[in-house]
Amino acid sequence: NTNIAQFMQGAVPGLNVGVSSFSGGTPSIAIRGQTSLNGNRNVLIILDGVQYNGSLSSINPDDIASIDVLKDASATAIYGARGANGVILITTKKGKSGASNLTYTTSLGLSKIARPLDVFTADEFRAQMKQIPGGSFVDDGGNTDWQKEVTQQAFTQNHNLSLSGGSDKLTYFGSFGLQKQEGIIRNSNLDRYSGRVNVNQKLWDNKLNIEVNLSASRTNNVRPDFQGVIGSAISANPTYKPFNADGTLKFYPDGSNPMLSLSLYKDQTFTNRFLGNISPSLTIAKGLVYKLNYGVDNSTTARDIQTMPNKDPFVEGGLQTINTYNTNTLIENYITYT
């Protein structure tokens, strides 16, 4: 699994998870159906005590220790109106007392289109067009499966290195992850680099517990014009040929070469994200605990939408850059009694 939303698919009754088929796609998550009184169906995601917004693709699945889904009103009550559409609690791995443990894991995977749409072959298309009274079309002598041309057998690799351990008073967990994922649509890929440090310190005869969680990630996501590519691949004339004799992309006046969209348009997004929180908790009396939680979520995104200049078809070319900056700060303090 390259996205933690994939862990939850089909695992919890009442939880609907839809994961996009292209690399870097944002999954849709809904609890108790798609209806909402205020029109907002966003599920509240809490990562190590901090509210998490944005794409889940920046979280390394190998760092996850547990995922809990809160659906009923009593379980989500402590989150107030934020938890009206349900809450998902994500807890990352922590260190355990004992000898240091160095772990390396890797995984390799292949992906391909599951069920291509059943469209006419070139011969079937010619036969159908002849049956249409007055029907005319350009027959370029090809026999092209455009869905096959614009898709690929995608390769994904994951590498994760972690170090954990500690003593009775201090435990730690650190990790570094690398993911390189190709999309099943050509010229699409997602690269993720992530690092995490979790430390837990006990003081004052275990009455004071300080937990620190820090994570940083960078994702590079490259996407073509998906709507244009997929739509034209389904409707393009199968007698057309994708390439000229010299290997260049062939241009047709009606624009029915989906490979041109893959070549001329590129949407590239770079996201840097830092998420950290410190949570000291103090045992005031037996069963009475005061806890403070201070968290910061900072992300910077640069999106480059590029159009390559071209002669046939004529494309002027251009570049649009969109920069987004977002910083959220959380301060919570409460007393629990058990």
Per-residue pLDDT tens digits for 46-102: 999 888 887 788 899 999 999 999 988 777 888 888 888 889 999 999 999 999 999
pLDDT single digits (tens) 134-165:
778 889 999 999 999 999 999 999 999 999 99
- How many CA atoms lie less than 13 Å away from 145 in the CB half-sphere? 7
- For residue 37, the model assigns a pLDDT of 52
What is the pLDDT of the chain when averaged over all its residues? 89
State how far the Cα of 191 lies from the Cα of 222, in Å rounded to an integer: 9
Mean local confidence (pLDDT), 294-321: 92
Percent of residues, the chain, with pLDDT higher than 70: 94
Residue 307 token pair: 């159009």
pTM of the model as a whole? 0.86
Question: pLDDT tens-digit profile of 11-29?
Answer: 888 788 876 655 555 667 8
**Residue 162, CA distances (Å) to 33, 57, 194 in order:** 38, 19, 11
Question: Is residue 40 very low, low, confident or very high in pLDDT (cuts 50, 70, 90)?
Answer: low
Q: Determine the pLDDT at residue 104.
A: 98
Give, as one character, the DSSP assignment of residue 146: H
Q: Tell me what pLDDT residue 33 has.
A: 64
Q: What is the pLDDT of residue 19?
A: 64
Per-residue pLDDT, 22: 55
pLDDT at position 291, please?
Answer: 93
Q: What is the pLDDT of residues 92-114, one digit of tens each?
A: 999 999 999 999 999 999 999 98
205-255, pLDDT tens digit by residue?
999 999 999 999 999 999 988 878 888 899 999 999 999 999 889 999 887
The pLDDT, as a whole number, for residue 26 is 62
Q: What is the dihedral of CA 242, 247, 252, 258, to 10 degrees?
A: 40
User: Which pLDDT does position 178 carry in this prediction?
Assistant: 97
User: How large is the average pLDDT for residues 331-338?
Assistant: 85
DSSP characters for 170-205?
Answer: EEEEEEEEEEEEE-SBTT-EEEEEEEEEEEEEEETT
